[in-house]
Amino acid sequence: MTLPTPTLLTPRLRLRPFDGADANDLFAMHSNAYVLRYWDSPPWSDRARAERFVAVCRQMAAEGTGARLAIDRLSDGAFIGWCGLTQWNPDYRSASLGYCFNEAAWGHGYATEAARAVLGWAFDTLDLNRVQAEADTRNGASARVLEKLGFVREGTLREDCVVNGEVSDSWVYGLIRREWQPSPEPVPAV
């Protein structure tokens, strides 16, 4: 089952399917060790990894297992990160939320804004009942984003990752459809 990848607009952002032109921006973001300091994989060292990421995004949509969207700032068209759903299961009506932003985009509310748009699509269009997310326990900023969106911390995965050679715990968050509070502004699909 194919999962159509939408284009979503928010007051400040455009979330859209990835294209080949995004590879340079993706590589710049994912090769930054500071940006990925809480990530569960090392920074990219090969630009071809960005091209594979774009190909995997297309493959996920074609196979119906997820959708990752590139995020551009409307004011200047700059690529600032990505947000999406993986592990989409239409039988269980569930998926996992993930996102990554370049360092210059931090602290402006973009992650919350983008994730809110993706969650609106997840609950309204995909008819999901549950969305799950994980955050490294040292990543307070990501935890705050999830909590602002209404996610509830459901537990801790102890020593579930090795990040930069250091064993790390992750918090597991869940958001149930009946607890979802959509944004007061409509998020039109284009």
Determine, yes or no, domain membership for 3: no
pLDDT value for 185: 55
Determine, yes or no, domain membership for 1: no
Determine, yes or no, domain membership for 2: no
Question: What one-letter code names the amino acid at 119?
Answer: L
Pairing mode of beta strands 130-136, 94-101: parallel
| CATH code for position 124 | 3.40.630.30
Determine, yes or no, domain membership for 185: no
Determine, yes or no, domain membership for 188: no
pLDDT value for 184: 62
pLDDT value for 62: 87
pLDDT value for 165: 80
Determine, yes or no, domain membership for 20: yes
CB neighbourhood size of 9 (10 A): 18
Q: Hey, which residues does 166 pair with through a beta bridge? A: 163
Instruction: Report how many domains make up the chain.
Output: 1
Determine, yes or no, domain membership for 103: yes
Pairwise CA distance, residues 131 & 27, whole Å: 27
* Tens of pLDDT, residue by residue, the chain (190 residues): 667 788 999 999 999 999 989 999 999 999 999 999 998 888 999 999 999 999 999 999 888 889 999 999 999 999 999 999 999 998 999 999 999 999 999 999 999 999 999 999 999 999 999 999 999 999 999 999 999 999 999 999 999 988 778 899 999 999 999 999 886 654 444 4
Determine, yes or no, domain membership for 142: yes
pLDDT value for 187: 44
**DSSP per-residue string spanning the chain:** ---PPP-EE-SSEEEEE--GGGHHHHHHHHT-TTTTTTSSSPPP--THHHHHHHHHHHHHHHHTS-EEEEEEETTT--EEEEEEEEEEETTTTEEEEEEEE-GGGTTTTHHHHHHHHHHHHHHHTS--SEEEEEEETT-HHHHHHHHHTT-EEEEEEEEEEEETTEEEEEEEEEEEGGG----SS---B-
Range of the domain at 161: 8-179
